[in-house]
Amino acid sequence: MNETSGAQAGAANLDAISFEEALRELEGIVASLERGDVSLDDAIAAFERGTVLKTHCQARLEEARMKVEQIRLPADGGAPESATPFSADE
């Protein structure tokens, strides 16, 4: 399998992973790389996986930010008068 198809497969697997799970996995990768207890080949693979996880986490955070921005709160701090349905395609 070449690097591009491997990255695509890794990205596809992330669709089912929550932000919290991806973040925990990323933290584990960082910790193992910081300890230096992996071989060079494993470190490279871990770095590649970490890059995919980081991108996934950033995308999920951006989605959450967009959802929050779409909630319109009145000046008095009461319940929102309206909320626009969120679409990730926008």
Q: Name the band, by pLDDT with cuts 50, 70 and 90, for residue 2.
A: very low
Is 89 inside any structural domain? no
Residue-wise pLDDT for 36-74, tens only, equals 989 999 999 999 999 999 999 999 999 998 888 777 666
Single-letter residue type at 51: T
Is 90 inside any structural domain? no
Q: Is 51 left (phi over 0), alpha (psi -120 to 50) or beta?
A: alpha
Is the overall model pTM greater than 0.75, yes or no?
Answer: no
Residue-wise pLDDT for 9-37, tens only, equals 555 578 889 999 999 999 999 999 999 98
The domain in which residue 40 lies consists of 3-83
Residue among 5, 27, 19, 77 nearest 35 (CA): 27
Is 26 inside any structural domain? yes
Is 88 inside any structural domain? no
Number of domains observed in the structure of the chain: 1
